[in-house]
Amino acid sequence: MLLFISNKQSKAQLVVTSSQTATALAQKLSGNGITVLNASLTCAAAANGIFSASASNLGIDSGIVLTTGLATSVAGAEPGLTSYNNNTNGDAALQALSGAGSTRDACILQFDLVPKGDTVKFDYVFGSEEYINSVCGPYNDAFAFFISGPGIAGTDNMAQVPGTVIPVAVNSINNGIPGTYGAIANCTSMGSGSPFTSFYNDNTNGTTVAYRGLTTVLTAAHAVSACDTYHLKLTIADALNGLYDSGVFIKAGSLQSSTFNVEVAGAVNTGGSPAIYKGCTPGSFTFSRSVAKPTPQILTYQIGGTAVNGTDYTAIPTSVTIPANATSTTLTIDGLVTPANGPKTLKLYLNAPYSCNGVMDVIDSAELQIMDAPHADLLSQDTTICDGVSLPILVDGDNNLTYKWSPATGLSNPNIKNPLANPSVNTTYTLKAYIPGSGCDTISGSVSLDVLFAPFSVSVGSDIFACEHTPIVIDPVIVTDHSTFTYEWTGPQGFSSTNKELDLTDPLVGQAGEYVFKVDGGICGAVSDSVFINVVLFPSPPSVISPVKMCMNSKAQPLNVNGVSLKWYTQAEGGYALSAEPDINTSVEGTTDYYVSQSYGQCESDRVKFTVIVERCCDDNIFIPSAFTPNNDGLNDQFQFTLHGEESKILEVEIFNRWGQMVYHSNSGQPWNGAYNGTIVESGNYFYLISFTCKDGTIIKKKGEVLVVR
């Protein structure tokens, strides 16, 4: 908690230094157009002081404070009773204002002042500990700012509720709720409209000012005659008793004579300095007075700065007049277009309208920058760029312009003077350059960028072997193709074509060679590829010897065909080629037709018929059993062999036992009954040798074994 409080106080606090001299207090208040003289102070030393406030609800950052108690006690937190009795006299002039029978502990600051204008004024806040309990009660602590001098009958109180002649006091400005010791009649009796709650700030639980209630920041003002001497009495006192303190805070430097000022209007803010641009919306100086009066007011000024009157701006006089019943007038400054010569300044020094002792004082000044007319020239011309290449768009223009490019697509930044452009399609970029709020015409321009593309790669495929008169078509693969590209084919015998597709409808052998294809993107580059096309004559059909006869069940013979890169088919036209030379099946008797061609690359000859005949040959004309049973049962009793074909005959039959002894011999082909020398041989294997003739006269010998089973 202690840490919290300490930190809070360091950020929001009221610091009061008491026991000041009359001169120090008067000079603290004195501001523009006021000369302070003959200050005096009737006040307990501890009851007055100077103060500074930060982050406070007081509404005034520094000034003087006059109290009916201790000045330093007002710097603190509320609640906590602020009540000190200084046991000093009151001020009889305040008794009538407070409505109380007597006053005590008065604090009075008085001095003479000489105004340089026709009005004096200052800002203040009244605070009191009489709030809340004594609201509308008898303890109506009061204060006054009494002014006297030429044109004033007696004295006037400048501390009045705004818009009224009711003095500011606890009972005239409060929350409207009577306190413990109060009755609403005590407030309403102050005057019509009292109490005035809109000027009241409840300070209950306040952290920087100890009083329970405060007024808002109010202004005390009074008409005077310039250069005459007036007397000002600032006074505050407790009503009836010396308890429950009150105080008045008066802002430092706020005691001023009539306020006349000059300020710039209708200009563009350029980094904190108001400015206009030549040839654009004019600016102005506004001359003001704080109070409207029934008479006009002439104000003179001095012209300064680097701008030349009548050259950089329209010529202006050295004075203006505020009309009767008005508070201001305007002087228009219209910048004239000149050759660019950099920023210029026009500064007006406002002279005090009244001269005391012949001295002319400058009471205010204002400065206006006059800038060259906005300038922006688009330097870049319409052009072509390659896709993927960034091009800076160049503008010769002022850096203080706002630049807007559209469209934003393809720009590094659409809000800068010189963006980088990298569009993917043909684009026209439009510029608008302007100064916001200046009234200058928008500067515009445009630049068109046509995008050219570069081919990345091209492929025309692998080399080609083609037959003469066979159409050849090549469709290149281009990455990435574009309509702006041009194409060119070149080849043997001066061949040239600008088509993308290569189409040789009737190629001849003489057109064989390398063909080069070029894809040209113009200034963005080109790519190329080539292919070798070998055009050959059609090969002649292969030479064959057909038909070819093969013996049934014999090993298939190679097919006798004279040619290269042979292709075998099972039909005279169409169909697919066999994967290899036909494999002849000799186990089945019959005739099969095949068709064969020879090829070179994709070229293929006509097909030639090739016939294969599988037939029974001489070896197959005899049947020889492998066993017999010579037991006279009428079934398979003899070793009997059969010839197929009438042209064949048995020449000789020889049978041997296992010891090589011939057991049977015949020249007629008669079957063997299994007997040797009239006796059936023993069971077992016996060997035979049979000779027979074929129809062509060839002698065939067959060897083998036969099993005798008894």
Query: Is it the case that residue 405 has pLDDT exceeding 70?
Result: yes
**422 falls within a domain:** yes
Return the minimum-mean-pLDDT range out of 249-253, 293-297, 445-449. Answer: 293-297
| Together in a domain, 220 and 282 | no
- pLDDT band with cut points at 50, 70 and 90 for residue 271: low
Whole-number pLDDT of residue 439? 87
| Together in a domain, 135 and 235 | yes
Name 54's bridge partners: 13
| Together in a domain, 193 and 102 | yes
- pLDDT band with cut points at 50, 70 and 90 for residue 620: low
Residue 602 vs residue 333, higher pLDDT: 333
Compute the half-sphere exposure of residue 587: CA atoms within 13 Å on the CB side of its CA: 1
- Residue 144 CA to residue 86 CA, distance in Å, equals 20
Please spell the DSSP secondary structure of 49-105, one letter per residue: EEEEEES-TTS-SEEEEEESS-GGGGBS-SSS--------B--HHHHHHHTSS-EEE
pTM greater than 0.85 (yes/no): no
| Together in a domain, 607 and 624 | no
Alpha-carbon dihedral angle through residues 167, 170, 175, 176, given to the nearest 10 degrees? -70
Q: Report the domain count for the chain.
A: 6
Query: Is it the case that residue 653 has pLDDT exceeding 70?
Result: yes
- Report which DSSP code applies to 265: E
Ordered strands of the 230-239 beta sheet: 34-42, 103-115, 230-239, 142-148, 156-157
- Residue 169 CA to residue 159 CA, distance in Å, equals 9
| Together in a domain, 92 and 115 | yes
* Mean local confidence (pLDDT), 432-436: 90
Whole-number pLDDT of residue 600? 80
Query: Is it the case that residue 3 has pLDDT exceeding 60?
Result: no
SS3 15: strand
Query: Is it the case that residue 403 has pLDDT exceeding 90?
Result: yes
Q: CB–CB of 431/364 below 8 Å?
A: no
Over the stretch 151-169, which tens digit does the pLDDT of each residue have? 999 999 999 999 999 999 9
**275 falls within a domain:** yes
Q: CB–CB of 491/516 below 8 Å?
A: yes
Choose one of 321, 352, 371: the last residue of a domain.
371
SS3 117: coil
Q: CB–CB of 385/451 below 8 Å?
A: yes
| Together in a domain, 71 and 130 | yes
**5 falls within a domain:** no
Name the token pair of 275.
């400015």
| Together in a domain, 147 and 231 | yes
Place of tokens 């082909």: 669
* Mean local confidence (pLDDT), 37-50: 96
Choose one of 502, 534, 566: the last residue of a domain.
534
Range of the domain at 359: 260-371
Whole-number pLDDT of residue 208? 93
Query: Is it the case that residue 327 has pLDDT exceeding 70?
Result: yes
- pLDDT band with cut points at 50, 70 and 90 for residue 471: very high
CATH of the domain at 700: 2.60.40
The pLDDT mean for the chain works out to 90
Alpha-carbon dihedral angle through residues 642, 648, 651, 656, given to the nearest 10 degrees? -30
| Together in a domain, 64 and 106 | yes
Residue 382 vs residue 643, higher pLDDT: 382
Distance of CA 218 to the CA centre of its chain: 52
- pLDDT band with cut points at 50, 70 and 90 for residue 588: confident
With CA atoms as reference, report the closest residue to 696 among 617, 642, 591, 624. 617
Name the token pair of 429.
């970029």
Place of tokens 């059936």: 680
Share of the chain above pLDDT 70, in %: 95
Q: Quick check: bond before 480 cis, omega within 30?
A: yes
- Residue 450 CA to residue 428 CA, distance in Å, equals 8
Coarse DSSP helix, strand, coil percentages of the chain, rounded to the nearest 5 percent: 5, 45, 45
Helix or strand run (H / E) with residue 608: strand 608-615
Name 490's bridge partners: 496, 516
Sign (positive/negative) of CA torsion 266, 271, 272, 275?
negative
CA distances from 510 to 92, 468, 535 (A): 137, 9, 8
**283 falls within a domain:** yes
Query: Is it the case that residue 617 has pLDDT exceeding 80?
Result: no
With CA atoms as reference, report the closest residue to 257 among 84, 117, 421, 463. 117
**7 falls within a domain:** no
Q: CB–CB of 181/150 below 8 Å?
A: no
* Mean local confidence (pLDDT), 620-629: 83
- pLDDT band with cut points at 50, 70 and 90 for residue 647: low
Whole-number pLDDT of residue 5? 33
Place of tokens 């600008």: 498
| Together in a domain, 32 and 149 | yes
| Together in a domain, 183 and 137 | yes
**10 falls within a domain:** no
Whole-number pLDDT of residue 100? 60
**141 falls within a domain:** yes
Whole-number pLDDT of residue 354? 80
* Mean local confidence (pLDDT), 586-595: 90
* Mean local confidence (pLDDT), 492-517: 95
CATH of the domain at 270: 2.60.40.2030
Whole-number pLDDT of residue 697? 72
Place of tokens 């469209």: 407
**111 falls within a domain:** yes
CA angle 585, 587, 588 (to 5 degrees): 85
With CA atoms as reference, report the closest residue to 25 among 15, 33, 17. 17
Residue 248 vs residue 694, higher pLDDT: 248
With CA atoms as reference, report the closest residue to 119 among 282, 329, 327. 327
Choose one of 575, 590, 615: the last residue of a domain.
615
Share of the chain above pLDDT 90, in %: 65
* Mean local confidence (pLDDT), 231-246: 87
- pLDDT band with cut points at 50, 70 and 90 for residue 2: very low
Over the stretch 363-389, which tens digit does the pLDDT of each residue have? 889 999 999 999 999 999 999 999 889
- Residue 460 CA to residue 475 CA, distance in Å, equals 7
| Together in a domain, 156 and 133 | yes
- Residue 406 CA to residue 431 CA, distance in Å, equals 7
Query: Is it the case that residue 516 has pLDDT exceeding 80?
Result: yes
| Together in a domain, 226 and 134 | yes
Whole-number pLDDT of residue 8? 37
Residue 451 vs residue 617, higher pLDDT: 451
Return the minimum-mean-pLDDT range out of 132-141, 294-303, 407-416. Answer: 132-141
Whole-number pLDDT of residue 317? 96
Whole-number pLDDT of residue 23? 97
- Residue 211 CA to residue 16 CA, distance in Å, equals 14
Whole-number pLDDT of residue 643? 75
CATH of the domain at 407: 2.60.40.10
